[in-house]
Structure 1
């Protein structure tokens, strides 16, 4: 047992905090980054989707290989390298001169984050004895919840006082502090018999996902999903992902062991995690434009408005096991998915003058639903596989969460974009032909053109708000439909109420999988 284990836990939480914090900070900065220079970068909606997804796709694609490299080279070395890369990527992102640069530097940040996330948990398991691991992992998981909660508020405070790049630059001093403490405190460790890296699998998965997401985002941008470019890209993405599955099945050292998916319970639980994040990330994306562009709230006020979502998760996630013990996994998760579907559908009723407390209730109930899905499905994932597979089950859960989120932003973002263009198109006929296409891509693009036109542009503001609300309603109903599919999956495939002794098993792995 390491004598400085609790101090080491603090350092690991600090390194994990910035990785999680950065994504939740970015949520409230989306609208500012879409504002024309010098306030923002003038990023289009598709560029904003890529700024989020370039990080997520690299992170998800490299998660397994990063864990194996840590086992092989030493977790401390990999953790230090990952943090350094994340810090450099953050500094470069803060100074981006164009949306394309921001997308590239966000990918660099995703590369660093992929090496930080698995290494923190591996070091934690190494310095704590088995009897203390559940408590340590519980604290570690609490840190993730805290980061999700304080991220939007931190982002709002920074944007109220500094330029948009401050939401990335804030990572740099935290990285430097974490690196210094880690060199001093954290011991190195490695796996005596590490697994082999699967470079072909990594390349196929990342290329397949990027092609698929590119096609979906391009379809939304053009408001035409039958365009040859869109069909070619999505088709190629699906073919490459199919090749990935075939290769992984035949490989003797796969990134993802496809035999896991032969277990229907495991497949259902991991699919639901992806579906939940598909819906959540898509909603977060459009709700920021609703609160800031339509309702006129500042980034800080938006961050505070999103607090109920995080607060509900922090309140109910630790207690979800009690509900499962009483009603069973199937009943708990099915009810929770129905709640999420209902809350997404409720977004379709929001207008420009809807009392804001209704949005707060929607966020709180959505967070409550998520808490009662993530914890029970994490138990199922861990109990469906042998104990020695806990690490890869946790990584797989994380990967599906990231991929689900990336596809949610791509698909729901594209639905939002296409619906908005359809609704605003006939209001843009008075604009010069060259400006018309750009002005129709998003509410921020329309408002940007309106601002440049001066008094004449004021006539565009009200139609832009109406078109956005229409697009948000359509997108919310799509998200709700995805959540209904999730409810059907858990109702059909997850186990019913278990005997009491089984419900107590594998606490440590449960929280590990949840994060």
Structure 2
């Protein structure tokens, strides 16, 4: 597959002049979509409290309040990107952010856990149309030579949103009720709608071809089944459960059918020949593997800081600031290393740094100096910045500009599925290792509560708190069992990151390829003019 260089038609000068303002508006919409998922983690304990403080949600209901968003989001990302290419990115962006805002307002005033789950699914529906559209619009308002810088800023915004979510949630919960973590989205959505309508130009694929309803339906069903099976396996901490295996197998079978159908179709939703390009495929694999490792490990980092170290949710959120700071500093500048050393060296170096920092968690104990955790978070963010920017540029520039929505949707789908797998699989590893480490210490408990107490460190500490002096004897064993489980899980995440490093080292282009591409691009631009 040849990499398309540029459109023959140049970007209108009026659009080009306001491109950085447009990027700012896109960042605003991206911020609330990404931030909302991390902000909910802080509110979980409050939502589980009985009314009127919370909703009295059970553990299963809380998990689905999180997963309903992820399930709908991941399942519809690819379809949303296709519709953006066909109908216009500005229209889908405005529609998506509106649906997201309505879902946020409804979630804030949910009267039961079931309502909260349903409204979170509505928010996921809106977010699925926002996320790919932001990157697609970006690709259409920046010329090729500025795209790496713009994508770097975009990637830094994702990191910022992930980090400030817990801080924002902690501040809101200190002063308002649990619904404020959703209601805060509404004024931001209104501001974003006004700015988008004013600044953002519309763009679409000028030759979208015929509709492919069969392909679209197969992609939705396959992704939903796959992600549901992954989530269910993580909840049960058992991927050998027949229902889990059947759901994942069905999802993979439907997605295989989707690929086969698209290969034979004369008007495919997805041109699967793009994946014959080893560079494109390697970049996709790198994104999935990175988020597999990162999401799985940051999942246990919250329990480490709060349950073992005793920090509050707000303090735990503040501890994540170095991760955000590093991404904000280095993501926009990662292109400079790519220019000097190439995609291969930059991305491989980022993955090796990330792997080293994940391995560092295997040495953390209850009394490890907190500055060491801050250094690890900062270096993790540095590694992420030098992975996300180069791989995103490779993916977005591998497809024609008119297919930018599809490219962005594919990238985000791989990211979401990889992250869901990371939380489910590494979460299962953490849960199993913890149970194995604590179960022989729970024999002093009544049989009725033994199973519940062994589910997680939070469950053990919750039961211990109700037992008084007898329960205090469980605190130290619970911390020890969790630390051991964290060490095992961190090493698993390290292995995944190293696999990613091997993939990009083998298939991403080195420094010498960029000048040749630039010469080809210049020739095409000259010919077009």
TM-score by length of 2: 0.84
| Residue 307 (1) aligns with residue 307 (2) | no
Change in CA separation of 1:409 and 1:453 when aligned onto 2, cut-off 3 Å: same
Q: Where do 5+ consecutive residues of structure 2 fail to align?
A: 1-12, 522-529
Q: Deviations over 1:299-353 (max 9, x none)?
A: 2211111111111112122222222233332222222212111111111111111
Q: Where do 5+ consecutive residues of structure 1 fail to align?
A: 508-515
Change in CA separation of 1:143 and 1:381 when aligned onto 2, cut-off 3 Å: closer
Q: Deviations over 1:34-73 (max 9, x none)?
A: 6777766676766655444432332233223223333444
- In the alignment, is the contact (CA less than 8 A) between 2:85 and 2:402 conserved in 1? no
Report the counterpart of residue 60 of structure 1 in structure 2.
74
Equivalent residues, number: 507
Distance 2:113 2:297 in 1: 22
Distance 2:492 2:149 in 1: 39
| Residue 118 (1) aligns with residue 100 (2) | no
Q: Deviations over 1:141-166 (max 9, x none)?
A: 65445434433322222233334332
Give the alignment's Cα RMSD to 1 decimal: 3.4
Change in CA separation of 1:433 and 1:24 when aligned onto 2, cut-off 3 Å: same
Distance 2:40 2:236 in 1: 25
Change in CA separation of 1:185 and 1:321 when aligned onto 2, cut-off 3 Å: closer
- In the alignment, is the contact (CA less than 8 A) between 1:278 and 1:408 conserved in 2? yes
- After TM superposition, list the pairs within 5 Å mapping 1:5-16 onto structure 2: 5=18, 10-16=24-30
- After TM superposition, list the pairs within 5 Å mapping 1:230-249 onto structure 2: 230-249=244-263
Q: For structure 1, which segment, 280-289 or 157-166, has the greater mean C-alpha deviation from structure 2 after superposition?
A: 157-166
Change in CA separation of 1:227 and 1:44 when aligned onto 2, cut-off 3 Å: same
What is the deviation of 1:33? 5.0
| Residue 282 (1) aligns with residue 296 (2) | yes
Q: For structure 1, which segment, 242-251 or 379-388, has the greater mean C-alpha deviation from structure 2 after superposition?
A: 379-388
Report the counterpart of residue 454 of structure 2 in structure 1.
440
Q: Deviations over 1:3-31 (max 9, x none)?
A: 89466555443323211221332344456
Distance 1:282 1:43 in 2: 24
TM-score by length of 1: 0.86
- In the alignment, is the contact (CA less than 8 A) between 2:204 and 2:402 conserved in 1? no
Distance 1:197 1:9 in 2: 30
| Residue 379 (1) aligns with residue 411 (2) | no
What is the deviation of 1:474? 1.5
Report the counterpart of residue 9 of structure 2 in structure 1.
none
| Residue 252 (1) aligns with residue 266 (2) | yes
Of 147, 152, 158 in structure 1, the residue corresponding to residue 161 of structure 2 is: 147
Distance 1:241 1:193 in 2: 26
Change in CA separation of 1:395 and 1:135 when aligned onto 2, cut-off 3 Å: same
What is the deviation of 1:417? 1.9
Change in CA separation of 1:347 and 1:398 when aligned onto 2, cut-off 3 Å: same
- Secondary structure of residue in 2 paired with 1:179: helix
- In the alignment, is the contact (CA less than 8 A) between 1:45 and 1:441 conserved in 2? no
Change in CA separation of 1:401 and 1:329 when aligned onto 2, cut-off 3 Å: same
- After TM superposition, list the pairs within 5 Å mapping 1:104-183 onto structure 2: 104-122=118-136, 143-183=157-197
Q: For structure 1, which segment, 114-123 or 478-487, has the greater mean C-alpha deviation from structure 2 after superposition?
A: 114-123
- In the alignment, is the contact (CA less than 8 A) between 1:27 and 1:152 conserved in 2? yes
Report the counterpart of residue 338 of structure 1 in structure 2.
352
Q: For structure 1, which segment, 55-64 or 304-313, has the greater mean C-alpha deviation from structure 2 after superposition?
A: 55-64
- In the alignment, is the contact (CA less than 8 A) between 2:289 and 2:496 conserved in 1? yes
